[in-house]
Structure 1
Amino acid sequence: MILGEIEARAVEDARRRQDEQQARAEREVRWQAAMDVAKERVVRGQLAEVLREEVGRWQEAAALSAYCTALQRRIGELDGAVDEAALDSARRWLRWARGYAGSIDPLTRLPGMPHTREPTPAELKPYLKGWSPYGPERRDGR
């Protein structure tokens, strides 16, 4: 009777350890999936930030180029109607402005895929839905 009880407890202990090990493995899989999604979202945010910055520079360059075109037209309209010193000054300003507009335009060169960096735990945390960025144990106790 005692031997049977010991054997039953040993089987029960082995089953409990196996269940715990399986539960840990399943938590690890779920945590890794959450980490993969979080990393993807953080990297997407990094890329979106670079894109927004480039679009801003592109829009500014386009506006400056439109200004330069209007200034060139105005210089042409006033050629001979104003003194030459004023026209020379306006032409110098136009050359500088065109150069500056070209220097900030991100499309003067073919842009490539930006480099991203490894997300920090703080960046991952908002996307982990309660998982810790440090391991598969949940911070909220679930």
Structure 2
Amino acid sequence: MLRGGSPHRASEWTDLPDRPLEEQLAEIVQEVGLRGEAAERKRLADQQAREVQQKRWEAAMQEARAAYAHAYRVKYLGEQADAWYQASRLTEYIAAVRDHATSLPPGQERTEFEAWLVFADAHLPHLTESVSAPKLPTPPKPSGDDLKPFLRHWSPYGPRSY
């Protein structure tokens, strides 16, 4: 009895009076050979399929890294716009407070306004510095979890991980 592989002719042979096993040896050897060839073809096909899957996964990972970098930069752009908006609003607000402070008579209230303006004038350059020279950020190296939203059905941990 032969086990394993895909049978081509038979899996069992019997020693019969009109057909002894010795006469069936060629058929048995041929069956073993055919199953071996089929197993080798399957092994090669499986290996090729794994290689194709690996290449597809690598391409998906490359695309996911690019999509992650793009999304990171888009988020950063929004943060820069928010910072610019906040800096612009604060600049206008400080100018309005300065105009109001100059209209106040000397005294405690004006002194408090001027102290506040000194603080605001010292703080404002920190806000405007980050928005005055925008530059394209370099995204941090993404983790597997960072890439998951960009990989569709692939796992970031390998082509055969799910």
Report the TM-score range of the alignment, normalised by the length of the smaller protein: 0.7 to 0.9
Structure 1 residue 118, shift from structure 2 partner:
1.7
**Structure 2: gaps spanning 5 or more residues:** 1-26
**Deviation sequence 1:58-84 (CA, Å, 0-9, x none):** 2111101011222233334x2xxx421
**Deviation sequence 1:14-71 (CA, Å, 0-9, x none):** 2111110110011111111221222222222332333332222221111010112222
Q: Give the partner amino acid of 2:148.
A: K
Q: State the distance in 1 between where 2:148 and 2:116 align.
A: 50
**Structure 1: gaps spanning 5 or more residues:** none
Q: State the distance in 2 between where 1:63 and 1:99 align.
A: 16
Q: Give the partner amino acid of 1:98.
A: D
Normalized per residue, which structure has more strand? 1
82-91 or 95-104, which deviates more: 82-91
Structure 2 residue aligned with 1:111: 134
130-139 or 25-34, which deviates more: 130-139
Structure 1 residue aligned with 2:99: 73
Aligned partners of 1:61 and 1:101 also within 8 Å: yes
Aligned partners of 2:83 and 2:131 also within 8 Å: no
Q: CA RMSD in A?
A: 2.2
Match of 2:72 among 46, 49, 63: 46
**Deviation sequence 1:65-112 (CA, Å, 0-9, x none):** 011222233334x2xxx421243432332232232122112234x233
Q: Give the partner amino acid of 1:44.
A: H
Aligned partners of 1:65 and 1:101 also within 8 Å: yes
Larger radius of gyration: 2
Partner of 1:131: helix, strand, or coil? coil
Structure 1 residue 138, shift from structure 2 partner:
5.2
Which one scores higher on RCO, CA 8 angstroms, separation ≥ 6? Answer: 1
**With structure 2 as the length reference, what TM-score do the two structures score?**
0.70
Aligned partners of 1:125 and 1:133 also within 8 Å: yes
Alignment of 1:1-142 (within 5 A): 1-76=27-102, 78=103, 82-85=104-107, 86-105=109-128, 106-108=130-132, 110-137=133-160, 139=162
